[in-house]
A and B are shown apart, each in its own frame.
Chain A
Amino acid sequence: MRSQTPGTNVVLLSLSLLALVVWLGLDTVSLAANRIVPGTGYRIDEILGWGGALATCLPWLALVGIAWRPTRPRLVLALALVVLMLSALPAWLALSAETLVDIPGARLGIGAGIWVVLFLLLLALIELRTRLVLGRLLGWGLLLPPVASAGFCLARWLEPLALWQEYRSRSDQFLGAVGEHLLLVGVAVGTSLALGVGLALAMRRWPGVQKVGFGVLNFLQTIPSIALFGLLLAPLAWLSANVDWLSALGVSGIGWAPALLALVGYSLLPMVRNTFVALEAVDPGVVDAARGMGMSRGQVFRQVRLPLALPVILEGVRITTVQAIGLTAVAALIGAGGLGTFIFQGLGQAAMDLVLLGALPILVLALLVDALLGALTDILRPGGAE
């Protein structure tokens, strides 16, 4: 980018123009009298009239203007605008709820327009963050105002929001499901970390184990999760019927046992691969130097090899955890509980807000874990952040 006469930021320009079209053209909310009837969609001009609708376009036009001739201060202004608009989306839902809902028990659905605009705004946020070279922490901090705004609006005005109604009618179940989900993921990742490090060490000692081990784990990874859960059903059901102590433990063809087995199986490949690569990649010169200083083999491993390999191993933990969060959702099909239960219940009852109640937290969990472990990896990287 030239500093004197900056060229047009095509990305921001196209994002704002696209968002403007979507904002005016698609349904922003839908209203249904109860849970069974399909909702009626409302475009923004049907709620505010064309005058009001055009007034809400002003911030977008400002973004278009900034994108046309961007300078750094203007881009900062654009960033503030985007954060403001993100925070205004829940307020817009609240306003629609106040205007449209006239009978008690009516349900306000979030329309396609709002989802697409939300997506485009987040893209604009990423673009501006990259252009302005903002740090990771600040980038996340920018999401605080929208989240706070959403929380405030939910508490004050958004009682008719269908998603919120679904949550309130099963808030205990919801917390339980989040707990189950995290427990399954945690136990699976913990187990595979322990097994994975052991296996990686064995692979380093015996090349035969390496060839066979990677072969088996790669093979396992190709089998679709739903098929693996299904194939584990029969043998586990047989085991629990014939081995007393296993059935006493609660092992059966459905439930947590096949889910956990499959999760550990899937988690082992990224875990072992990263641990193995990390330990292999440690510079032999460093190890020689450590030995030369009189360190024992154990000391070299604990004080040199492991700390140097740690960031890459953590990278494995990150990949594994994100993958396990998604797979646990599928495990709900075989009765393992967790947030996937809401997804499949909702799909069965054609209750889309219930589906959202399962899918959105899974998405948020995956993104959070990814961001947290990513930040941790950066901190532990030698010569990385202090």
Chain B
Amino acid sequence: MTDPRRWLVPMVWLALLLAATLGMGQLEGLFRWLESDSRQVIYARADFLTLLGRHLLVVSVAAALAILIGVGAAIAATRPWGRDFLPLVSQLASIGQTFPPVAVLALAVPVLGFGTLPIIVALLLYGLLPIVRNTLAGLAGIEAGVMEAARGMGMSRGQILRQVELPLAAPVILAGIRTSVTINIATAAIGATVGASNLGDPIISGIVNGNTAYVVQGALLIGLLAISVDSLFSRLPMSGAR
């Protein structure tokens, strides 16, 4: 925590992302060379900073809700009064991960309609699964002796949860959140096909109009965004494979 060099790599990626977002217009010459036939080579329907902002907004709203609901559900299913639901919840979390995110997104549209809201709901639903699964795994991985000791010290159930279980399970839970956010950044971009306006827009519009320059601009920014966020997560204390 104290070593500032720890955060150097994520900061470099973030700086690159910001530079690319703000300075895309300066690269016009490069894109002109890439796509010499088109009249316009820089995506101009919305500026890149707005698109980046909307992308981040959708992903963070979905992630915040998914963390709240996912961790909450996993905690509920491991308490004495909710233990009946444990087998179902853990099976659901593992079966659900077989569903391809695109299919979930596509299935959300007929039910919820076009626009930003269906995307948030689809991202939320899909993002829940790794968080629930990892929270369950994290809570189950705590040694029985540790719990015994906490009870022996006279801690109440709430105290055990807050001061023992959650801190010990935190690295595994964080790994789940990382997986969830990584998938959601990618899925949100595909959401541009169902009417959300975000960094996926330039890609879709470039593919539709045959403009490679647009595609590369969108792809570059999404790639940088995903890498920056992932690299931020990698500096947090975490365990387990992704």
Tell me whether A and B are bound partners.
yes
Nearest-neighbor residue (CB-CB) of B90 within chain A: A130
Interface of B: prevailing SS: helix
A221 CB to nearest chain B CB (Å): 8
Known: A10-B85, A11-B88, A231-B216. A366 touches B100 (CB 8 A): yes
Q: Bound state CA distance, A220 and B85, in angstroms?
A: 37
| Chain A: interface size category | 35 or more
- Produce 1/0 per residue, A357-375, CB < 8 A to B: 0111011001100100000
Closest chain-A Cβ to B14's Cβ sits at a distance in Å of 14
Q: How far is the CB of B38 from chain A (nearest CB, A)?
A: 13
Query: Within 8 Å CB of B186, what residues of A?
Result: 224-227
B69 at the binding interface (Cβ < 8 Å): no
User: 8 Å CB contacts to B: which residues of A23-78?
Assistant: none
Q: Is the CB of A326 within 8 A of B212?
A: no
Does A145 touch B at the CB level, under 8 Å? no
Closest Cβ–Cβ distance, residue A100 to chain B (whole Å): 19
Kindly report which residue of chain A lies nearest to residue B88, judged by CB atoms: A127
- State the Cβ distance, B52 to closest chain A Cβ, in Å: 13
Q: Decide if A359 touches B103 in the complex (CB within 8 Å).
A: yes
Stretch of A202-210, A306-314, A339-347 on the interface side:
A339-347
* Those of B201-242 within 8 Å (CB) of chain A: 203-204, 206-207, 212, 215-216, 218-220, 222-223, 226-227, 230, 241-242
CB neighbours of B95 from chain A (8 A):
126, 367
- Does A222 contact B190, Cβ atoms closer than 8 Å? no
User: Given the complex of chains A and B, what is the CA–CA distance between A347 and B100 in angstroms?
Assistant: 17
CB-nearest residue of chain B relative to A116? Answer: B111
Q: Given the complex, which residues of A lie within 8 Å of B107, measured CB to CB?
A: 355-356, 359-360, 363
Per-residue CB proximity of A6-26 to B under 8 Å, as 1/0?
000111000000000000000
Q: How far is the CA of A327 from the CA of B34 in the complex (A)?
A: 27
Within 8 A of B (CB), among A131-167: 131
| Chain A residues, CB < 8 A from B227 | 219, 222-223
* B116 within 8 Å of A (CB atoms): no
Instruction: List the B residue with the shortest CB-CB distance to A273.
Output: B241
Among the listed A9, A126, A352, A363, which residue makes an inter-chain contact with B92, where contact means beta carbons less than 8 Å apart? A126
Say yes or no for B61: interface residue by CB 8 A criterion: no
What A residues does B182 contact at CB under 8 A?
222
A130 touches B189 (CB 8 A): no
Query: Which of B100, B200, B223 contacts A363 (CB under 8 A)?
Result: B100
The answer on a CB contact under 8 Å between B110 and A356 is yes
Please, how many angstroms separate the alpha-carbon atoms of A346 and B193 in the complex? Answer: 10
Q: A227 to B87, alpha carbons, bound, how many Å? A: 37
- Which chain A residues (303-342) contact chain B, with CB distance < 8 Å? 322, 325-327, 329-330, 333-334, 340
What is the bound-complex CA distance between A273 and B242, given in angstroms? Answer: 11
Quote the shortest CB–CB distance from A129 to chain B (angstroms): 9
Q: Which residues of A contact B207 (CB under 8 A)?
A: 254, 333-334
Q: Is the CB of A326 within 8 A of B100?
A: yes
A-B contact count (CB 8 A): 139
Q: Which of A9, A112, A234, A322 is close to B98, meaning CB atoms less than 8 Å apart?
A: A322
Q: Does A123 have its Cβ within 8 Å of any Cβ on chain B?
A: yes
Instruction: Enumerate chain A residues within 8 angstroms of B18, measured Cβ to Cβ.
Output: none
Expressed in whole angstroms, the Cα–Cα distance for A11 and B82 within the complex equals 9
Closest approach, in angstroms, between the C-beta of A150 and any C-beta of chain B? Answer: 18
Which of A127, A233, A359 has a CB less than 8 Å from the CB of B216?
A233
Distance between B180 CB and nearest chain A CB, rounded to angstroms: 13
Does the CB pair A362–B102 fall under 8 Å?
A: yes
Across-interface contacts of A10 in B (CB, < 8 A):
84-85
Chain B residue numbers with a CB within 8 Å of A239 are none
B48-95 interface (Cβ within 8 A of A): 84-85, 87-88, 91-92, 95
Contact flag A329-B103 (CB < 8 Å), given A224-B185, A226-B189: yes
Judge if A237 is at the interface, Cβ distance under 8 Å. Answer: yes
Residue in B91, B103, B226 whose CB lies within 8 Å of A224: B226
Cα(A370)–Cα(B194), bound, Å: 28
> Within the assembled complex, what's the spacing in Å between the Cα atoms of A237 and B34?
10
Of the A-B pairs whose beta carbons lie under 8 Å apart in the complex, a sample of 10, sorted by A's number, is A126-B95, A227-B219, A233-B215, A233-B216, A234-B216, A322-B100, A326-B102, A329-B100, A362-B102, A362-B103
Known: A233-B215, A326-B100, A329-B102. 17 other contacts (CB 8 A): A11-B85, A115-B111, A123-B88, A130-B91, A222-B182, A222-B226, A224-B189, A227-B186, A254-B207, A329-B103, A333-B190, A333-B204, A343-B106, A355-B106, A355-B107, A360-B107, A362-B100
Seen from chain A, the residues whose Cβ lies within 8 Å of a Cβ on chain B are 9-11, 112, 115, 123, 126-127, 130-131, 219, 221-231, 233-234, 237, 253-254, 273, 322, 325-327, 329-330, 333-334, 340, 343-344, 346-348, 350, 352-353, 355-356, 358-360, 362-363, 366-367, 370
